[in-house]
Structure 1
């Protein structure tokens, strides 16, 4: 288990309760302060060092994967275990996975996650992270890394349920959103300034013929 600051209590139970009762959870200050800061610094370092280390994001999966600038306009970089800040995040989410499996019997098997950078004017049109019955992405997560974000800055995450608006989430620093991937269409409104986040997905094992479905 990861050794968090003794004064920090991970909000895993609140996330589990929210998921059980409404299917999504919005948590402020979800991580220890130093972990959030290190992740923010890591992403900014990657962008300042070489913005080409982040690639234009695509839509779809496998053979259907394609870039479509009319649907989404963010740039991404997948997180790995070889950086201490990225590793700490992946360990945190691994602990959340174990907790939710024990608490809600979700059968979560793996987790994939990437940094996301939306430049001014960028957006992501309404979409689902998974389609019903495919049993791939089960639970979506977004952690925001934007200090001093204001309503005028745009870039809100907008969530729907049966075409009904249920939440408009300002991408404030340290805010974590967790939701059922198959249940909630969502979009990212055009942003008025650089917008930083970490998007991720918990998946079940959809292996066939003893071959494990890879996480990405």
Structure 2
């Protein structure tokens, strides 16, 4: 089930999949995300980590809700189970030593964005593989909100990934710059990062 993912990650470091999560899986996650949003449980996203965290709306303007794997809903249990299958498969073929997953719901209200960045803190290289699952039913290109994944070091070659429900994007966190283009209507996703224990990475 995951061989095509690991093959692509081994070959080029990124992959987009539309097969692992069923329509029912995605619908359940969307309902859960929308319910938490209505209940006011999200907070404005920040940049940096620990004491260095700051809200910088000129860089990112989304809101997030961190997920607790120890107390998941049925929808999130399914999400965590599938992501763990990916972790095991990637470790088996790519030897990345992925240990755990941190994840959050992300909501981009109309007009919000996230400027070009890496998913790796300057002083911590634990985040190794990024996984973004989109929850937006019947999303159209004119709605904006695409993730622009830069494929080269100069950030001249890129692929725009539509945030359509059931689309899962995986890429090496410290290697690929990316951004979220301005959304023209509310955009929902689950974003996760597989982490490893050791600090030195080969790229």
Whole-angstrom distance in 1 between the partners of 2:101 and 2:79: 11
Aligned residues: 195
- Deviation at residue 180 of structure 1 after TM alignment: 0.3
- Residues 1:194 and 2:186 are matched in the alignment: yes
Would you say the 8 A contact 2:133–2:167 is kept in 1?
Answer: yes
Output the TM-score relative to the length of structure 2: 0.91
Structure 1: state its 5+ residue gaps: 1-9, 208-216
Cα offset, 1:30, TM superposition = 2.6
Residue in 2 that maps onto 1:77: 65
CA drift of 1:87 comes to: 2.0
CA contact (8 A) 1:24 1:178 kept: yes
Higher relative contact order (CA 8 A, sep 6+): 2
Cα deviations by residue, 1:15-56 (Å, 9 ceiling, x for unpaired): 1011011110011133133211211111112123x1x20111
Partner residue in 1 for 2:47: 59
User: Which structure 2 residue ranges, 5 or more long, are not aligned?
Assistant: none
Alpha-carbon RMSD:
1.6
In the aligned structure 2, how far is the partner of 1:60 from the partner of 1:175? 27
Which residue in 1 is equivalent to 2:89? Answer: 99
**Alpha-carbon distance in 1 for matches of 2:186, 2:18:** 20
TM normalised by structure 1 equals: 0.86
1:28 to 18, 22, 27: 18
